[in-house]
């Protein structure tokens, strides 16, 4: 009887182990160099401006991450490097990387960036982003059972200069400080009529105009992005948080976006975008995460963890 009991237990353990191995085979991480060990390719303020490679003094190392600085006056060209920390600064921004953990802080002071508040939506606005595109292995959405997007972050600075200076009072239609994560949904099927269609899929993290950022769907009118004119579908923060984002509090987003991507395509179709593209045509093949700041704010965030995990069918 005792022998039978142990045989049953052994069988259960073996089955559980095989199941775990099978799940592991079907799950994989889409993002690479998550501690940013290879450094960054830093952009200038426009797409035409020269780029700079910062690989922390390492030989024969090519960064996979980019750091867009659209519309900024600075180039993060003051660099301090030691075994534990890399700090890149200019008169307007700072980026601090913990080389041991991969935690990275992105901070910008747009009061210095703008000579006067923006008066038109067509005027460029300051960005400080991390970008990974393309992925080493694109995610075929129709082959995925689940796609888990995860980020752990902390708002480290938030000052609205318009609160105390009437000349800098922010107009919600023109001015904001937005922290967002966007994934690039692309039609890569050459047999599709919608070949090369593009959709921004976003997960909102913080917006100065709302305690909770609502879901939204709209066309991209940003003149500084390569996806200009494409459709945006972004998920609001009430999907992720029960309380608003505040300085000094860590927040975590962990969300299965697989079905939301299909819904995003349907919403785009209803609005007249990517009408010749279906879920069978698309891959996720890039992302950016960080700050877009069209108003006069000092803002900072530390990204402690980021992941996109795919569970295949």
Write down the pLDDT at residue 19: 43
What number is the average pLDDT over the span 216-241?
82
For 232-268, b/e burial (b = at least 16 CB within 10 A) is bbbbbbeebbeeebeeeeebebebebbebbeebbebb
Rounded-to-integer distance, Cα 302 and Cα 46, Å: 25
Write down the pLDDT at residue 220: 85
DSSP state of 45: S
Confidence of residue 164 (pLDDT cuts 50, 70, 90): confident
Confidence of residue 2 (pLDDT cuts 50, 70, 90): low
Name the residue with tokens 């785009």. Answer: 268
Q: Which of 219, 207, 214, 204 has its CA nearest to residue 267?
A: 219
Phi first, then psi: give them for residue 267, nearest 5 degrees: -65, -40
Write down the pLDDT at residue 159: 96
Write down the pLDDT at residue 122: 87
Rounded-to-integer distance, Cα 163 and Cα 170, Å: 8
Residue 168 has pLDDT above 60, yes or no: yes
Residues whose CB is less than 8 angstroms from the CB of residue 145 and which lie 6 or more positions away in sequence, other chains included: 26, 258, 311, 312, 313
Mean pLDDT of all residues belonging to the chain = 91
Phi first, then psi: give them for residue 64, nearest 5 degrees: -100, -20
Residue 245 has pLDDT above 90, yes or no: yes
Residue 225 has pLDDT above 70, yes or no: no
DSSP letter for each residue of 237-268: GGGT-SS---BT-EEEEEEE-HHHHHHHHHHH
Rounded-to-integer distance, Cα 58 and Cα 187, Å: 36
CB atoms within 10 A of CB 51: 13
Write down the pLDDT at residue 25: 63
Residue 84 has pLDDT above 50, yes or no: yes
Confidence of residue 162 (pLDDT cuts 50, 70, 90): confident
Confidence of residue 21 (pLDDT cuts 50, 70, 90): very low
Residue 89 has pLDDT above 50, yes or no: yes
pLDDT by residue (tens digit) across 183-213?
Answer: 999 999 999 999 999 999 999 999 999 999 9
The dotted CATH code for 28-312 is 2.60.120
Contacts 24+ apart (CB under 8 A), 95-100: 95/67, 95/128, 97/36, 99/35, 99/37
Taking the model in full, what pTM does it have?
Answer: 0.90
Find the range with the poorest average confidence among 46-50, 97-101, 131-135, 241-245. Answer: 46-50
Residues whose CB is less than 8 angstroms from the CB of residue 241 and which lie 6 or more positions away in sequence, other chains included: 212, 251
Length of the chain: 313
C-alpha pair distances (Å), 90 with each of 49, 72, 74, 75, 78: 17, 10, 6, 6, 6
Rounded-to-integer distance, Cα 284 and Cα 106, Å: 25
Rounded-to-integer distance, Cα 218 and Cα 209, Å: 17
């Amino acid at each position: 009887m005792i022998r039978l009991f142990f045989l049953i237990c052994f069988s259960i353990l073996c089955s559980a182990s095989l199941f775990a191995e099978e799940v592991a085979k079907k799950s994989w991480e889409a993002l690479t160099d998550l501690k940013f060990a290879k450094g960054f390719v830093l952009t200038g303020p426009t797409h035409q401006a020269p780029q700079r490679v910062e690989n922390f003094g390492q030989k024969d190392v090519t960064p996979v991450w980019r750091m867009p600085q659209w519309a900024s006056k600075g180039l993060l060209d003051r660099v301090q490097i030691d075994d534990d920390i890399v700090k890149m600064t200019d008169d307007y921004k700072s980026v601090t990387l913990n080389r041991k953990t991969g935690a990275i802080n992105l901070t910008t002071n747009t009061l210095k960036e703008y000579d006067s508040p923006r008066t038109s939506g067509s005027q460029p606005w300051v960005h400080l982003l991390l970008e990974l595109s393309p992925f080493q292995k694109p995610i075929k959405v129709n082959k995925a059972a689940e796609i888990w997007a995860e980020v752990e972050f902390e708002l480290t600075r938030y000052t609205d200069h318009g609160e105390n200076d009437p000349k800098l009072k922010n107009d919600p239609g023109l001015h904001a400080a937005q922290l967002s994560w966007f994934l690039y949904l692309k039609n890569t099927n050459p047999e599709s009529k919608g070949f090369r269609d593009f959709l921004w899929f976003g997960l909102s993290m913080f917006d100065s105009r709302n305690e909770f950022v609502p879901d939204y769907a709209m066309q991209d009118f940003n003149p500084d992005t390569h996806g200009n004119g494409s459709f945006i579908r972004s998920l609001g923060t009430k999907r992720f948080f029960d309380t608003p984002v505040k300085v000094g509090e860590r927040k975590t987003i962990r969300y299965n976006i697989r079905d939301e991507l299909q819904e995003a395509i349907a919403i785009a179709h209803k609005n007249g975008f990517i009408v010749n593209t279906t879920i069978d045509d698309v891959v996720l093949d890039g992302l950016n995460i960080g700050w877009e700041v069209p108003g006069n704010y000092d803002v900072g965030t530390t990204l402690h963890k980021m992941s996109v995990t795919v569970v295949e069918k």
